[in-house]
Structure formats: structure tokens, C-alpha cells
């Protein structure tokens, strides 16, 4: 009979399963993520992963949940740094890109695989937390009066541009001399200009 694991040991093994699943997804595609293959990658018994997750979809949901929470935490910390809205938004951008570079496998699995288990409470909360970050990033500039916009909508426009730049960097398809931050900076300026209040249209940028 297997020995009972402590909460920290259980959490550590769950994290190992999620890392292995993300790695397999990137290197071999979604079909490679099977319970048997994960057991082989982890060097454990075939049935061991079932002690932690019921099936492949539950593992993928766990990867995405962990990824969303880790990314949201990084963005929240960046948004809470000193400075005006533009400065803090750049910090958020840099934190986002840093996460994608540090854990590219998880990042890709978060966004390249169709959503599953949408009603999972932990996933729904992580998803909502990320949405709050996206809206808060633009809300600080709205509150400062330098732009006028619907914070969630503009936030998602900024996010879409950033995600696109990150994916192009991951794929090695950016123009020479550009990285994700440099490319996104140009799009960000255009989006901010479009959102400037009429009273500021003819004045130098904030």
C-alpha cells in the first residue's frame, strides 16, 4: 500500500504532472498527453497519475489553471509598482512576456488547446482573475484621464496584440531587430492614441 503523501508532496507531484503534460504538448502535440505516457515521463507506475487526476482533460485544465494564476500574480505585482499608468502598464507587459519566456510550454498549452472543464471552480476563478488583471491594466490610465475607453474591451485589445507578439517571438517569426516587447510597444502607442480624450488629441502624448 503506497504511503500517504503530505499536502506539499501531493502538490509537488501535481506540479510535475502538469509540467510533463505541457512539455509533451509542445514537443509532440496533444495526442501525446496520455496517462500512460505521463507515467513513463515521470518514471512512476502506470496508475500513479490517476491518484492525482482522473483523466487527460483534467490535467490540461490543471495546467491552464496554474498558468493563469501564476501569470495573474505576476501581472498584479507589476501593476502595483510605483509610477504613472503608462509606466505600470509597461511593467505589466514585461511581466507577461517574462512569464511566456520562462514557461513557454505552459503558456502555449494555456492558449493553443481548446477549453475543457469550463465549469471547474478553480479554473473559472483563475480565468476571472486574469480578466480582472486585463481590465485593471487599462483602468489605471482611464482613472488618470489620459485615455477614455471601456477598460475590459481596451484591455483585451492590448492583450490580443501582446499575445500575438509573444507567439510570433516564440515561433521565431518577428522582423530582425524586434522582440515581443518592441513590436508590442508600437501597437500599444497606436491603441493609446486612438483612446485619447478629444481635449488631448492635439497635445503631445502623455
Q: Tens of pLDDT along 179-203?
A: 999 999 999 999 999 999 876 665 5
pTM, two decimals, is: 0.89
Tell me the DSSP string of 135-147: HHHHHHHHHHTS-
Domains and CATH numbers, the chain: 1-53 (1.10.10.60), 61-200 (1.10.357.10)
Reply yes or no on whether the pLDDT at 206 is more than 50.
Answer: no
Q: Tens of pLDDT along 92-122?
A: 999 999 999 999 999 999 999 887 778 899 9
Work out the percent of the chain whose per-residue pLDDT is above 70.
94
SS (H, E, C) 71-124: HHHHHHHHHCCCCCHHHHHHHHHHHHHHHHHHCHHHHHHHHHCCCCCCCCHHHH
Amino acid at each position: 500500500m503506497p504511503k500517504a503523501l503530505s499536502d506539499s508532496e501531493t502538490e509537488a507531484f501535481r506540479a510535475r504532472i502538469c509540467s510533463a503534460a505541457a512539455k509533451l504538448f509542445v514537443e509532440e502535440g496533444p495526442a501525446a498527453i496520455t496517462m500512460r505516457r505521463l507515467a513513463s515521463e515521470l518514471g512512476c507506475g502506470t496508475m500513479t497519475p490517476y491518484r492525482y487526476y482522473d483523466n487527460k482533460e483534467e490535467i490540461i485544465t490543471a495546467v491552464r489553471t496554474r498558468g493563469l494564476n501564476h501569470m495573474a500574480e505576476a501581472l498584479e505585482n507589476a501593476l502595483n509598482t510605483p509610477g504613472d499608468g503608462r509606466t505600470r502598464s509597461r511593467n505589466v507587459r514585461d511581466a507577461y512576456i517574462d512569464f511566456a519566456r520562462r514557461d513557454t510550454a505552459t503558456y502555449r498549452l494555456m492558449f493553443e488547446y481548446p477549453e475543457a472543464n469550463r465549469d471547474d471552480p478553480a479554473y473559472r476563478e483563475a480565468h476571472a482573475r486574469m480578466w480582472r488583471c486585463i481590465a485593471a491594466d487599462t483602468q489605471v490610465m482611464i482613472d488618470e484621464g489620459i485615455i477614455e475607453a471601456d477598460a475590459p474591451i481596451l484591455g483585451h485589445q492590448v492583450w490580443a496584440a501582446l499575445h500575438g507578439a509573444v507567439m510570433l517571438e516564440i515561433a521565431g517569426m518577428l522582423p530582425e531587430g524586434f522582440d515581443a516587447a518592441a513590436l508590442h510597444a508600437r501597437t500599444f502607442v497606436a491603441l493609446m492614441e486612438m483612446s485619447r480624450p478629444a481635449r488631448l488629441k492635439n497635445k503631445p502624448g502623455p
